[in-house]
Amino acid sequence: MRKIITCIGIRPDIIRLSQIIKILDKHFKNVIVDSGQHYDYNLNKIFYDQLNVREPDYNLDIKSGTHATQVANLMIEFEKTLNKEKPEFVIVLGDNNSSLGFALATSKLNIPLVHIESGMRSKNWLMPEEKNRIVIDHLADMNICYLPEHKENLLREGLNPRRSWIVGNPIIEVVNAVKTNFKQEEPFYLVTCHRAENTEQKQNLELILLFLGKLYEKHQKEIKFILMPKTKNYMEKFGLKFPEGINPIPPQGFLEFLGMEKEAELVITDSGTVVEECAILGTPCLTIRESTERVDLIQLGINCLTGINVEKMLEAGEFILSKEIEPVSHYGKNIAEKICNILLGNSLEFYNNKER
Ligand code: UDP
């Protein structure tokens, strides 16, 4: 059997790869490597358990640190794994620091690299994720895109069209595959907020909390705020408190959280995956950021991009609550199978050559 490595960086990678790994396992000798960037049970192992993903073969245990520390440590550790396992090719997904470290180590050894979630662009160069995804896309030998506009982004940057495939968005297969287990009679809103731009700057975090306080004053609906350790640390550092009506809760398992997304009257988030899940479930959703790489959802009117401005966030909230949200229909189907077929049907060596 052809030997490959599938890399897992952080929580959303386990979720998004869960169905893909099951199909790859049937056709390849698939070595799973987890970076260890997320190491708490409720940010890592719970997703393997709930989504029936087998244990990783390697955990590189890189934990947290500055961007440079994380990427550098990951490269050093992953290079050892690559030299030992000698895979035919390596699969990375997304735009986190681990994905970048995996991609750099692979490419430096001239091992063919496959990037899933290729071609998304926020056009915001100050986002760490934008830098990561552009570098990974340009290192990759095969670019697997979700949507046609993502491939167009790659072509605009001069990448070879013969290296890109459009397969649809695998998150829809994950959402369809699981049964959620959350129930609550009382209406509520749901918030996730942990992106660097919203947590590391006091002003933005303060404005978001102010907005949530005003939203509660107006609607008197409980606001559940998923409090990630990182956001908690910054709130303490900046001396910020939750306004009345905001109920901080710890990170949830996927089955619980997806159920909350389904039941919530409104979701407010700076996450990339949460907006997609809300679009699939037909839940009104605000993106509280200055820019987004999920441009399709904004253009379809399923999601509102608010910027970090209290008035605009409040206005957008009223607007999206007044709208009938049609669940998305452009994410495609048989995505995991398509990805596997592309990998089975192509010799990766063909793409990994002098000619770009
Ligand atoms: N999620 C979860 N529990 C939570 C919050 C989020 O299972 O308490 C899931 C959510 O359903 C989505 C993913 O984690 O699939 C989003 O992760 P995150 O926002 O960290 O990453 P991003 O999508 O922004 O890369």
**Is any atom of ligand 1 closer than 6 Å to the C-beta of 231?**
no
* Residue 347: band (very low, low, confident or very high) from pLDDT cuts 50, 70, 90: confident
Same domain for 9 and 157, yes or no, is yes
Query: Residue 244's closest CA among 218, 281, 216?
Result: 216
What average pLDDT score do residues 87-101 get? Answer: 97
Would 245 be classed as within a structural domain? yes
Residue 251 alpha carbon, nearest atom of ligand 1: 8
Contact present, 39 and 67 (Cβ < 8 Å): no
Same domain for 153 and 40, yes or no, is yes
- Is 194 catalytic? The answer is yes
Q: Say what percent of the chain tops pLDDT 70.
A: 100
Would 116 be classed as within a structural domain? yes
| pLDDT tops 90 at residue 104 | yes
CA dihedral sign, ordered 155, 159, 163, 168: negative
Gap between the Cα atoms of 118 and 92, Å rounded? 10
Q: How far is CA 208 from CA 63, 259, 270, 314, in A?
A: 28, 24, 11, 10
Would 268 be classed as within a structural domain? yes
Domain containing 154: what range?
Answer: 3-168+332-352
Domain of 32: which CATH number? 3.40.50.2000
**Is any atom of ligand 1 closer than 6 Å to the C-beta of 127?**
no
Chain mean pLDDT for the chain: 96
Gap between the Cα atoms of 316 and 324, Å rounded? 14
| pLDDT tops 80 at residue 12 | yes
Same domain for 159 and 198, yes or no, is no
The structure tokens listed for 119 are 């071609």
pLDDT for position 351: 77
pLDDT tens sequence across 265-320: 999 999 999 999 999 999 999 999 999 999 999 999 999 999 999 999 999 999 99
pLDDT for position 39: 85
The structure tokens listed for 222 are 């409980």
| pLDDT tops 90 at residue 51 | yes
Sheet holding 188-192, edge to edge: 246-249, 222-226, 188-192, 266-269, 285-287, 303-305
pLDDT tens sequence across 194-238: 999 999 999 999 999 999 999 999 999 999 999 999 999 999 999
Same domain for 192 and 311, yes or no, is yes
Query: Residue 51's closest CA among 280, 254, 251, 281?
Result: 254
Gap between the Cα atoms of 300 and 342, Å rounded? 29
| pLDDT tops 80 at residue 352 | no
Catalytic residue among 38, 115, 150, 194: 194
Same domain for 245 and 311, yes or no, is yes
Would 10 be classed as within a structural domain? yes
Same domain for 95 and 132, yes or no, is yes
Same domain for 132 and 198, yes or no, is no
**Is any atom of ligand 1 closer than 6 Å to the C-beta of 166?**
no
- The SS3 call for residue 1 is coil
pLDDT tens sequence across 57-89: 999 999 989 999 999 999 999 999 999 999 999
* Residue 356: band (very low, low, confident or very high) from pLDDT cuts 50, 70, 90: confident
Same domain for 215 and 262, yes or no, is yes
Would 44 be classed as within a structural domain? yes
Same domain for 226 and 113, yes or no, is no
Contacts of 80 by beta carbon, 8 Å cutoff, 6+ apart: none
pLDDT for position 348: 78
The structure tokens listed for 82 are 């690559």
pLDDT for position 297: 98
Would 151 be classed as within a structural domain? yes
**Is any atom of ligand 1 closer than 6 Å to the C-beta of 170?**
no
Would 139 be classed as within a structural domain? yes
Same domain for 19 and 109, yes or no, is yes
342 CA from centroid of ligand 1 (Å): 27
pLDDT for position 346: 85
**Is any atom of ligand 1 closer than 6 Å to the C-beta of 121?**
no
* Residue 336: band (very low, low, confident or very high) from pLDDT cuts 50, 70, 90: very high
Same domain for 154 and 245, yes or no, is no
The structure tokens listed for 355 are 């000619």
Contact present, 115 and 85 (Cβ < 8 Å): no
Q: List, as one string, the DSSP characters of 250-312.
A: PPPPHHHHHHHHHH-SEEEE--HHHHHHHHHHT--EEE-SS--S-HHHHHTTSEEE--S-HHH
Nearest residue (by CA) to ligand 1, atom 7, is: 254
Number of domains in the chain: 2
Residue 273 alpha carbon, nearest atom of ligand 1: 23
Same domain for 298 and 271, yes or no, is yes
Would 266 be classed as within a structural domain? yes
- Give the CA angle between residues 164, 170, 176 to the nearest 5°: 160
Query: Residue 93's closest CA among 159, 174, 161?
Result: 174
